[in-house]
Structure 1
Amino acid sequence: MEKDCELRLGPPERSPKLDVIVVGAGLSGLVSAYRLLEKEPSLRIRVLEASNSVGGSLQQNTQGEIGAKWFEKSQTHIYQLLQHLGVPMQQRSLVGSTLRRCWELDQSVSSNLAKYELQRYINELELKTAFFKPGRFSIRKNSTKMVNHINNRLFFKESRKFMTSLIELICGGKASDITYKEFMSLCYGCGGLQNIINIYLDCPNTLLEFDSARLLNALTQGLQRADILLSRQAKAIYHYKDYIEVHDSVQNIHTTDALILAIPLNALQQINISPTVPLEWRKMLNNARPGVRKMMTSFIASYRDGHWRNGGYSGSFLKYDPLIVGCEYRPTVYTGLMLHNDGMESLVRSMTLNALAQHFGEEMKVPHTYSQYTFELSSLQHLPLTTPWNRIIWSSSAAASTCYRGFLGGAVQSGLRASLNALLVVRPQVVTWTDVADIHCQNCPNIRDIGALKLWLSALNLYNVGYYALYASSVFLALQFAYKKFG
């Protein structure tokens, strides 16, 4: 028994030196590896994936889509990739405009006023988004927390809950942990707050959808010359002058000239990196995941009848604690997301079905089929990491250089940029100006001709309007009193 143990715990296996190692087989990592081999087929590439399947949030099961698969045509990088790979796209199925949406925001007595002030607040943030391009302001200076900004702008509890839940869904952290400047910078990188709401909540028929399985198959077909190792979590990274060593979870050592980290920033906390990462990275790591880890569970429930449609609802649904966002796009299938704390995966099914039954009827508790997939919600509480650290290159949806961060378009754009940076390390002679042009953002917000009066009017809310009215009334009464006494 001791000999067997000694054999298992012997010296780690060291693989021959590679050109590029990609840690993470999500969309960003697969695009990086695919683009590298497309530009230079002779490269020796290895992909290390901690889970037992590739694709990340683009997961699919036998009953249909269960991961992200919607995007807008303005997300040019994912659009051009799908065209290049021959993956068909189609406009999202139209939901009947006569059907109602089941928002908790609609159910209170003050719902109309709450929705009115909420829309005014969203318009205010939308107008100011263009001023928050990274580099135009200092994100490190003191800035009010978003929870305080919301409470100072919104009066009704329903509209406050909507915004705090939306921030948690977008950023992967609570509104009390992210500052106003950080959130506005993120909105800039996603094409504006209204664009985020459209994609996450409203799901308009302008969105394009595709078969994620076909995209993953096309990418993996193009990676036949690369090694894709599943269930291999990177545990340690040692950065030397001329090469990098990656130690994985089965005690193998992989040596490479360049390393692409295609994982969320919060996942980097689980990897021992030596020498210590730059101060900028350390600050971001400290802020990436405050408090309890947030998980996202994507679910799909099919029914023999569309009970929500029979009740006159479109299927869109929002609940605050926990947060569920659902967008029905087929008559008898309900898909959605639940945001929850780590360790609650086993409770998601019962919580989801009970919440749906509360709004759409008891029939929702007994679906014909049900599937779910859980992944950690990426933290976006940091600026994009676009500058390589010597031979280590950052790539993920959250690292997109102000181009639809957190969305499919951002993941593809980040993967293309990472592959370009890796080529500059291992094969600089094959890089052309068109490669640089391919990664540029084409749809970021620009500062428009917004007058000071328009900005001031957009910031009016129940609080400051009430204050201005009280102030004007006080001045009027004081003048009237003075006129009567001294007039």
Structure 2
Amino acid sequence: MEKDCELKLGPPERSQRIDVIIVGAGISGLVTAYRLLEKEPSLQIRILEASDTIGGNLKQIPQGEIGAKWFEGSQAHVYQLLQRMEIPIQQRSVVDATLPRCWELDQTVSSNLAKYELQRYINELQIKAPFFRPGRFSIRKNSTKMEKHINNRLFFSESRKFMTNLVELVCGSKASDITYKEFMSLCYGCGSLQNIINIYLECPNTLLEFDSAHLLNALTQRLQGTEFLVSRQVKAICHYKDYIEVHDSTQKIHTTDVLILAIPLNALQQINFSPPVPMELRKVMNNKLKLRLMLTSFIAGYGDAHWRNAGYSGSFLKNEPFIVGYEYRPNVYGGMMIHDSGSESLVRSIVLKAFAENYGEAMETPHSYNQHTFELSSLAHMPFTTPWHRIVWSSSAAASTCYRGFLGGAVQSGLRAALNALLLVRPQVVSWTDVADVHCQNCPNIKDVGALQLWMSGLNLYNVGYYTLYASSVLLALQLAFKKFG
């Protein structure tokens, strides 16, 4: 096996064996390292990062945040981490609630009916989500795709497009690629679908915000004894009985007792595992998406608040392509756009054109503009929470069971990864409180829902109209038959 790995990558350079290697310097990887050293300061830790900077989705420029921005108080893991680090937390800046939002969905002739059936559908998913807790149900190959479920429940193209785009934003995969059960499980892990909409689209004033640069500085200060190696993409992992060898893009081999993969599923697909991972994990990791979906976060600065002058609060949704915008503060407008890989250079022109269409031509020429592109992590799979021998899974997308894809999920997966690693290298330092810290907090509980409530939640304009038309046709046919054969 060792010879096979060396033949694929050429003559390697071997490093000294250390206790723990973490792949990925995002929030999950940093929290994992912080927690490990907090419990056992004597551990030798090395972090490999494929990019040239640390922080992952935590990006900041002078105008504001680009990347992870806000979180809810219910995301207990990140809230407790910030308190422990003494990072100031404040409510999101207040936006004038008297101004309407500018949604393309609100501007069509059939908007009221489309909004009504959309809200009915969201309420249906909200009620049924608690029944899809991971481990409570099984995912079969013949499960209904989310796209088909949406089309069977919604009639208007506006509401269908809204839900299809929302699925792509939340899951990092097309609605045609994820099943209904997988999406419902994900909604449960994110604290409900309404919670996702509140954070991504509504951006309420109840959201909490913090300075990401302050958090990164606090974490790196506590990790001064940790070795950071940037621009080191992992190419192969060779798993032996008592140790693991990690081959990176610089032809160097790192030897460790425990390996923590704090990267999403998309990145795991690019690593060669020897021996191969178990079949159930291989099926998930080899399920490559037809298209890589990207999310570009942007910030534009203006000399005047043109959106307020136009009579809007500055929050809008444009159906094609999928753009979400929100007001950071007066004169500063930000947001995010979901798109296919390779379209990064077109984002600025598309976004500014959308601004001009919604708020006036002055929005097309900002004083300043910045953007950063992230690859959307695919969440269309069950989380990896159980280590594979000496390999521990991390990252919000791969290993979190609570608030997947959010900051809270990233911190939770980091805490769990640290716990699993300690059980392998320093089991004597683990206590029951460490296990309790990893458990999901404030996630929805399974509640008793009556059959009538479940049935009522599934009624919407589409099926009610269909049932009404069907019943009317039957009654008309009976009436004609009665007149003819009376």
TM-score computed with the length of structure 1 as normaliser: 0.95
Residue aligned with 2:58, SS: coil
CA offsets 1:350-403 (integer angstroms, 9 cap, x no match): 221122112111111211111111111111010111010000011011134421
2:338 is matched with which residue? 339
Does the 8 Å CA contact 1:402/1:444 hold for their aligned counterparts?
no
Instruction: Report how far residue 10 of structure 1 moved.
Output: 8.5
1:117 is matched with which residue? 117
Quick check: 440-449 or 149-158, which moved more?
Answer: 440-449
2:6 is matched with which residue? none
Instruction: Report how far residue 14 of structure 1 moved.
Output: 1.3
1:191 is matched with which residue? 191
Q: What is the distance in 2 between the residues matched to 1:73 and 1:10?
A: 50
Quick check: 96-105 or 155-164, which moved more?
Answer: 96-105
Instruction: Report how far residue 482 of structure 1 moved.
Output: 5.8
Instruction: Report how far residue 483 of structure 1 moved.
Output: 5.3
2:5 is matched with which residue? none
Does the 8 Å CA contact 2:263/2:398 hold for their aligned counterparts?
no
Count residues with an aligned counterpart: 478
Instruction: Report how far residue 319 of structure 1 moved.
Output: 1.8
Does the 8 Å CA contact 2:192/2:444 hold for their aligned counterparts?
yes
- Counterpart of 2:115, as a letter, is K
1:67 is matched with which residue? 67
1:303 is matched with which residue? 302
> Does structure 1 residue 438 correspond to structure 2 residue 437?
yes
> Does structure 1 residue 135 correspond to structure 2 residue 114?
no
- Counterpart of 2:217, as a letter, is N
CA offsets 1:90-134 (integer angstroms, 9 cap, x no match): 011121111111111011100000000000000000000011011
Does the 8 Å CA contact 1:295/1:339 hold for their aligned counterparts?
yes
Does the 8 Å CA contact 2:393/2:399 hold for their aligned counterparts?
no
Could you list the runs of 5+ residues in structure 1 that have no partner in the other structure? 1-8
1:363 is matched with which residue? 362
Does the 8 Å CA contact 1:153/1:463 hold for their aligned counterparts?
yes
Residue aligned with 1:151, SS: helix
Instruction: Report how far residue 321 of structure 1 moved.
Output: 2.7
1:83-232 to structure 2, matched below 5 A, reads 83-232=83-232
> Does structure 1 residue 383 correspond to structure 2 residue 382?
yes
1:5 is matched with which residue? none
Instruction: Report how far residue 475 of structure 1 moved.
Output: 4.1
Quick check: 336-345 or 115-124, which moved more?
Answer: 336-345
- Counterpart of 1:302, as a letter, is G
Instruction: Report how far residue 11 of structure 1 moved.
Output: 4.1
Instruction: Report how far residue 246 of structure 1 moved.
Output: 0.6
Does the 8 Å CA contact 2:10/2:251 hold for their aligned counterparts?
no
Instruction: Report how far residue 181 of structure 1 moved.
Output: 0.5
- Counterpart of 2:379, as a letter, is L
TM-score computed with the length of structure 2 as normaliser: 0.96
1:249-264 to structure 2, matched below 5 A, reads 249-264=249-264
Q: What is the distance in 1 between the residues matched to 2:469 and 2:215?
A: 60
CA offsets 1:196-250 (integer angstroms, 9 cap, x no match): 1001100111110000000111111111010011111111111111000111111
Q: What is the distance in 1 between the residues matched to 2:357 and 2:367?
A: 18
Q: What is the distance in 2 between the residues matched to 1:475 and 1:320?
A: 39
2:3 is matched with which residue? none
Does the 8 Å CA contact 1:125/1:193 hold for their aligned counterparts?
yes
- Counterpart of 1:282, as a letter, is R
2:43 is matched with which residue? 43
Does the 8 Å CA contact 1:32/1:419 hold for their aligned counterparts?
yes
Residue aligned with 2:286, SS: helix
Q: What is the distance in 2 between the residues matched to 1:449 and 1:236?
A: 48
1:218-297 to structure 2, matched below 5 A, reads 218-287=218-287, 289-297=288-296
- Counterpart of 1:385, as a letter, is F
Q: What is the distance in 2 between the residues matched to 1:431 and 1:10?
A: 40
Could you list the runs of 5+ residues in structure 2 that have no partner in the other structure? 1-8
CA 1:43 to 1:312, structure 2 compared with 1: closer, same or farther past 3 Å?
Answer: same
Does the 8 Å CA contact 1:94/1:329 hold for their aligned counterparts?
no
Instruction: Report how far residue 294 of structure 1 moved.
Output: 1.1
Query: Identity across aligned pairs (percent)?
Result: 77
CA RMSD in angstroms, aligned pairs only: 1.5
